[in-house]
Amino acid sequence: MKEIPVEKIIRSRRRTIALEVTPDATLVVRAPLKSSAAYIEEIIRRKSSWIQKKFDEINLRPFFPNHEYTEGELFFFLGRSYPLVIVENGRRAIERSDRLYVSSDVRPDIRNHLKRWYREEAKKEIQARCMWFSMKTGHIPATINITDAKHRWGSCTHRGGVNFSWRLIQAPPEIVDYVVVHELVHIGQPDHSKKFWTKVGKIMPDYQQRRNWLRENGHLLNI
Ligand SMILES: [Zn+2]
């Protein structure tokens, strides 16, 4: 069974455990004050097929591009916007300088070429940032993968590898760094416990602001 990441455990004076899968594909657990972690885990395990089904529903939700890939449309890269410019038979399919130059010969399929380009750029940028924050967190990831995840910016594997969605590279650098730190800290602390957030806070005291930014603006990071 795949590991189910628990985003938050909310304890209150309730009698039963309730599970909620939020629209951004995270699991929130509401539990009585005294229920043990082992008991909560057991409930999650029992409900795992229902949870997985909910996650799948969210991930299969159509993801409408808000672009028509015409000149002047804005595309984001590390938080800066670049107007798209079509060049006749450009040297490369996609090239970024002050603008985002797209060669006319990829025109019927601009979105896919852009996606590929974002993926490559994400790999370079995120790898470099992982290396830098490895020193700060003390965790060197076993692998760094770029995924096509639509609703999860990053994740951490059982084997100490980290994954990031290529979409993240559209966000400002400080937001990318937050997700990198979040996943690297997960290598040593796989849950979202107080201990986890304390570790994140030590490296990045303003992580809450960055996290909020992603919550509020994440849906805009779409090509
Ligand atoms: Zn996490």
* Interatomic CA distance for residues 75 and 120, integer angstroms: 16
* pLDDT > 80? residue 106: yes
Q: Is 142 exposed, middle or buried (0-12, 13-18, 19+ CB in 10 A)?
A: exposed
Residues near 96 by beta carbon (within 8 Å), at least 6 away in sequence: 77, 82, 121
Domain spans, the chain: 6-60, 110-220
The DSSP bridge partners found for residue 164 are 146, 154
* Interatomic CA distance for residues 100 and 81, integer angstroms: 9
* Interatomic CA distance for residues 179 and 153, integer angstroms: 7
**CA 156 to centroid of ligand 1, rounded, Å:** 8
Residue 63 — pLDDT band, cuts 50, 70, 90? low
Residue 60 — pLDDT band, cuts 50, 70, 90? low
* Interatomic CA distance for residues 105 and 109, integer angstroms: 9
* Interatomic CA distance for residues 23 and 21, integer angstroms: 7
Angstrom distances, CA of residue 166 to CA of 58, 127, 147, 148, 153: 18, 12, 6, 6, 8
pLDDT 10s digits, 114-126: 999 999 999 999 9
3-class SS at 5?
Answer: coil
**CA 33 to centroid of ligand 1, rounded, Å:** 23
Q: Which of 181, 175, 164 is nearest to 210 (CA)?
A: 175
CATH 3.30.2010.10 describes domain 110-220: yes
Inter-residue contact 25 to 152 (CB < 8 Å): yes
Per-residue model confidence (pLDDT) at position 1: 43
3-class SS at 67?
Answer: coil
* Interatomic CA distance for residues 56 and 50, integer angstroms: 10
Q: How many whole angstroms from its chain centre is CA 154?
A: 4
**CA 103 to centroid of ligand 1, rounded, Å:** 38
- pTM higher than 0.85 for the full model? no
Residue 133 — pLDDT band, cuts 50, 70, 90? very high
* pLDDT > 50? residue 205: yes
Per-residue model confidence (pLDDT) at position 15: 92
Per-residue model confidence (pLDDT) at position 7: 78
Mean pLDDT value of segment 88-95? 92
The DSSP bridge partners found for residue 84 are 100
* pLDDT > 60? residue 136: yes
Mean pLDDT value of segment 168-195? 96
**CA 191 to centroid of ligand 1, rounded, Å:** 7
- Percent pLDDT > 90 in the chain is 74
Per-residue model confidence (pLDDT) at position 61: 62
**CA 79 to centroid of ligand 1, rounded, Å:** 22
**CA 155 to centroid of ligand 1, rounded, Å:** 7
**CA 180 to centroid of ligand 1, rounded, Å:** 10
Enter the tokens of residue 200: 């994140």
